[in-house]
């Protein structure tokens, strides 16, 4: 006696982003936050009528306000607890259908504690316990790709299109550009191994003043232990000197500039974010992996055997910075200046 075939077990829906109320957890690092912006904008482009929010550290609140299309920005600080977030009346505005997060921390814990229906993250060991829908990571070996692809690939696996040039458009601040204004930042929040010598920076400022006839603002990064900006300000009293209370508060200054010339640092990425052409001086970092986004931005680097080492402090002789000559950087500045002032 034959029996009918059993009904197949129901399958889980294919991997995708479901629901119309989506919370995007911002990465804590400034460069990572900048690299994640195109992925966030891809969600808005694909879901123009969805409710889209960002949860971020309080220091990034101003930054995310520059990104168009957000319905809510939720900020927390170092003292905020998950319990406080759950009780916040601000968070009660929306019943989140989906949460996307990239790293462990308060945002991932909040999504889990709030019982957000769909919790998406890369299937990494430290994130699995918070997720409902783990996204397979990219483990295949291959050439170095820019870090922005870490975020865009995630969206593509969720069937969200990312091949749109407008996703990479700058997010300008409503500040007028000042013709001939150049922001110079010799320090780096990545560590002293990412900083060029004071002697070379002195030569660059002379070039900007004498050849480009630029108006210069020397920026000292908040919280930086570097003394180079202070020394340059002393050597060039005719230049303006600024030390913003936070990197986000420096966005209007960056937006007012014609050009930014800086050590490889978070400031380079924020400058590119607001649409200011940027020249970044790379040392132990890999520009193919972490250069500022945008075709109008460039980098200068002298390749040495031990680079990229990605170390904050050099264990050798600082050769990646010492062998980066004035001529290479000056040529990049003059070429960019001619393009901007033609």
Looking at the structure, do residues 222 and 89 belong to the same domain, yes or no? no
pLDDT band, very low/low/confident/very high, at 3 (cuts 50, 70, 90): low
- Is a pLDDT exceeding 70 seen at residue 2? no
Tokens 């980066």 correspond to 324
Looking at the structure, do residues 161 and 185 belong to the same domain, yes or no? no
The burial class, CB within 10 Å (0-12 / 13-18 / 19+), for 143 is: exposed
- Is a pLDDT exceeding 80 seen at residue 4? no
Residue 143 placed within a domain: yes
Give tens-digit pLDDT for 53-85: 999 999 999 999 999 999 999 999 999 999 888
Percent of the chain with pLDDT over 70: 96
Residue 7 placed within a domain: no
Range of the domain at 109: 21-168
Percent of the chain with pLDDT over 90: 87
- Is a pLDDT exceeding 60 seen at residue 184? yes
Mean pLDDT value of segment 38-65: 97
Looking at the structure, do residues 117 and 187 belong to the same domain, yes or no? no
Give tens-digit pLDDT for 86-104: 887 565 678 899 999 999 9
Looking at the structure, do residues 54 and 105 belong to the same domain, yes or no? yes
Q: Label the pairing between strands 51-57 and 278-282.
A: unpaired
CA dihedral for 100, 172, 299, 163, sign (positive or negative): positive
- Is a pLDDT exceeding 80 seen at residue 335? yes
Looking at the structure, do residues 69 and 123 belong to the same domain, yes or no? yes
Residue 110 placed within a domain: yes
**Cα angle for residues 248, 330, 274 (degrees, 5° grid):** 20
Q: Label the pairing between strands 72-76 and 98-100.
A: unpaired
Looking at the structure, do residues 267 and 294 belong to the same domain, yes or no? yes
Residue 11 placed within a domain: no
Give tens-digit pLDDT for 5-26: 666 666 677 899 999 999 999 9
What integer pLDDT is reported at residue 9 of this predicted model? Answer: 60
Rounded CA Rg of the chain = 23
What integer pLDDT is reported at residue 8 of this predicted model? Answer: 66
pLDDT band, very low/low/confident/very high, at 1 (cuts 50, 70, 90): low
* Predicted model pTM: 0.94
Give tens-digit pLDDT for 113-154: 999 999 999 999 999 999 999 999 987 778 899 999 999 999
Q: How many domains does the chain have?
A: 2
What integer pLDDT is reported at residue 97 of this predicted model? Answer: 95
Give tens-digit pLDDT for 214-261: 999 999 999 888 899 999 999 999 999 999 999 999 999 999 999 999
What integer pLDDT is reported at residue 223 of this predicted model? Answer: 82
Looking at the structure, do residues 159 and 233 belong to the same domain, yes or no? no
Specify whether the CB–CB gap between 270 and 34 falls below 8 A: yes
């Amino acid at each position: 006696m034959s029996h009918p075939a059993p009904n197949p077990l129901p399958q889980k829906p294919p991997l995708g982003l479901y629901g119309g109320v989506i919370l995007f957890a911002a990465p804590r690092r400034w460069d990572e936050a900048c690299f994640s912006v195109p992925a966030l904008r891809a969600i808005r482009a694909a879901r123009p009528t969805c409710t889209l929010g960002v949860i971020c550290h309080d220091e990034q609140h101003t930054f995310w306000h520059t990104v168009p299309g957000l319905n809510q920005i939720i900020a927390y600080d170092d003292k905020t607890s998950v319990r406080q977030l759950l009780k916040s009346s601000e968070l009660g505005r929306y019943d989140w259908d989906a949460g996307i997060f990239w790293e462990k921390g308060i945002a991932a814990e909040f999504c889990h504690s709030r019982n957000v229906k769909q919790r998406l993250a890369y299937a990494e060991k430290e994130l699995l316990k918070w997720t409902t829908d783990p996204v397979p990571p990219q483990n295949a070996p291959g050439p170095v790709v820019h870090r922005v692809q870490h975020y865009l690939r995630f969206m593509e696996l969720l069937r969200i299109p990312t091949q749109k040039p407008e996703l990479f458009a700058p997010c300008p601040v409503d500040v007028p550009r000042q013709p001939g204004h150049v922001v110079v930042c010799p320090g780096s929040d990545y560590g002293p191994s990412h900083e060029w010598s004071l002697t070379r920076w002195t030569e660059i400022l002379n070039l900007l003043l004498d050849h480009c006839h630029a108006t210069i603002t020397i920026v000292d990064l908040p919280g930086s232990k570097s003394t180079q900006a202070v020394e340059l300000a002393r050597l060039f009293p005719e230049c303006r000197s600024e030390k913003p209370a936070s990197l986000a508060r420096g966005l209007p200054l960056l937006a007012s500039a014609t050009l930014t010339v800086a050590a490889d640092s978070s400031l380079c990425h924020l400058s590119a974010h607001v649409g200011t052409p940027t020249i970044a001086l790379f040392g132990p970092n890999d520009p193919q992996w972490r250069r500022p986004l945008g075709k109008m931005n460039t980098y200068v680097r002298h390749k040495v055997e031990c680079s990229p080492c990605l170390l904050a402090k050099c264990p050798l002789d600082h050769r990646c910075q010492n062998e980066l000559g004035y001529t290479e950087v000056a040529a990049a500045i003059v070429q960019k200046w001619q393009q901007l002032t033609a």
